[in-house]
Amino acid sequence: MEVRCTGVDPLRLGSPNTAISLIMSALFGVWSVQTLEMSVGKVPFLEAVNGSTVMLPCTYFSCIGIKDLYFNWQFNDNGTKQKVCESVIPSEGVMPHVKVFKERVTFVGMNRENNISILLWNITFDDAGQYTCFGINPKEKGKNHSAIFNLIVVEELRVVDNTVTIIIASCVGGAIALLMGFMLIKNFTLFVLAKLEEKNKECLVTSSGIDNTENGLSGSKADSKPTPKKK
Residue 1: pLDDT band (50, 70, 90) is very low
Q: List b or e across 162-198, with b for residues whose CB sees 16 or more CB atoms inside 10 angstroms.
A: eeeeeeeeeeeeeeeeeeeeeeeeeeeeeeeeeeeee
Contact assessment for residue 45 and residue 149, using Cβ atoms and an 8 Å cutoff:
yes
- Decide if pLDDT at 92 tops 80: yes
Q: How confident is the model at residue 50 (pLDDT cuts 50, 70, 90)?
A: very high
pLDDT for residue 90: 94
Looking at residue 27, its pLDDT comes to: 46
Q: Are 137 and 69 in contact (CB under 8 A)?
A: yes
Assessment of whether the complete model's pTM goes beyond 0.85: no
At residue 38 the predicted structure's pLDDT band, cuts being 50, 70 and 90, is: very high
The answer, yes or no, to whether residue 159 has pLDDT greater than 60, is: yes
User: Are residues 151 and 102 in contact, defined by beta-carbon separation less than 8 angstroms?
Assistant: no
15-19, 59-63, 106-110, 151-155: least confident range: 15-19
pLDDT at res. 5 = 41
pLDDT at 231 over 90: no
Give the separation between CA 203 and CA 197, rounded to whole angstroms.
10
Comparing 48 with 8, the larger pLDDT belongs to 48
Rounded to whole angstroms, the Cα distance separating 188 from 13 reads 77
Task: Work out the average pLDDT over 79-103.
Answer: 94
